[in-house]
Structure 1
């Protein structure tokens, strides 16, 4: 081999190594950061359970979750007991849980009456609900998507006047059980509308779990043209086993807040066949493997999952929980 050839090969090799190192550093900088997990099990996870869960059990469940390292735990919903009988004890549960400093305990409110009830027990953060699908909105909220925004407008100012933070949910961001595929523009419009009302964060929900990395990416590309990723969260149901890969896709697009439900609890009464949210245990395991900080103690999380699963008489839907339990036994 000539001296010139040797130098060319050496230069190319060094260049390739520099490129590889740069790629690794870029990947590490994107993944080795912090993701805030919003635990929605006590509200979204339990609201569809037909077996009544005693208030004392809900309180104990939430207290166990407070010991896991979460920064946000959605506690309950201040909605009419006629529509969600399981959460009729919302005021009692919120009043009696141990509120740990540094943890936010939001509740879902659908209207002014719900807000007033929440304020009467000292709620400091609420969540409001919109939809990218008119048909789903009619089934769930008895109004169109735009009407739901107009309804929120009637009480969200009162919340802000009382220094209550407001988080927004949007259901059916990529697909609807009644309308099928949802155009990204529908999700964009509702996202902008809720932000204009004063929501500090919008949780984009794949309510019936039909999303794939392709549809989630397409939707997020359009939404991110008008809002910052810092204003967004992702909320994935695992009906088709796509929740974790959809979350990974969102992380690649700089979303850093993820909703999850311990043991995969949940479902949706207005979406036939929809299962619960991604299991928090599975999400934490995935993020740990990526080198992403969550602040969540997985062992304590599994204990909280064991507790609530015994209370409702159902096995955990978390694959990580099942696997680690077998190894422990």
Structure 2
């Protein structure tokens, strides 16, 4: 492990100053991903800027009826918050599905947004990897790729994003707030994560030296009827091989509003826009749900060993939407 400095930030301005002064500095929240990557040599920061004591630990209602979540709110506190559970239940479910209790007690909102892929080639510094070392290649394409991306991938990278929380935040149009020495900024989560393209090492649109300060969830009445479902290879704590966050509003048997986002299918949480388009105004039934899933997955590009994900995600989308429709009809 490379020697590194350690600074504890006392305020947001001080943290941003430290980050901008050193391009090799990294933000330390709970450290549940960063420290592991430092141990393996994937991350080699010159300095860690500890932000756990910054005043970013609150969850509060916004004037527009949404929620504002501070960047250092722990996953445990986020999942337990009564307004999150009432207004955005799929978010609470996603957080609970994402890690063990011990990890949730440490992990933070900001760190979750910035966590790196769990692709084995990325984690092994003895292997080539375009995400870790641009231009070296993507051995997963011809190698182990059972959990690789089926949507939005490229010839340069087929790794998937590991976050459960990010999938729910994507379904609900979250907005990421950040601070730089030049002032504050915001990024809709749809723009926060970059398409993989030919630059898989560039994962977010955050400016250099920026510090995430929080996330705002806009008011979304449909989100109160939402669900997150995750499929993994073992029942205990594990990363997803496929997941769905969905919300559904039905009126007189017709879909009036719907939100769908998918996890473990792309380099970023994947908003199922085509599925939403097909469903809006359609009858709220299994046939429509299947047609919407098929429309979204028509763009899937599979490799020899990850084609199972197409059927998995299709069945998962239909099942979750069916459950939400049945609950609405009660």
Q: TM-score range by the shorter chain?
A: under 0.3
- Greater gyration radius: 1
- Hey, which of these two has a bigger chunk of helix by percent? 1
Length-normalised TM-score, structure 1: 0.25
Higher strand fraction (1 or 2): 2
TM-score, normalised relative to structure 2: 0.25
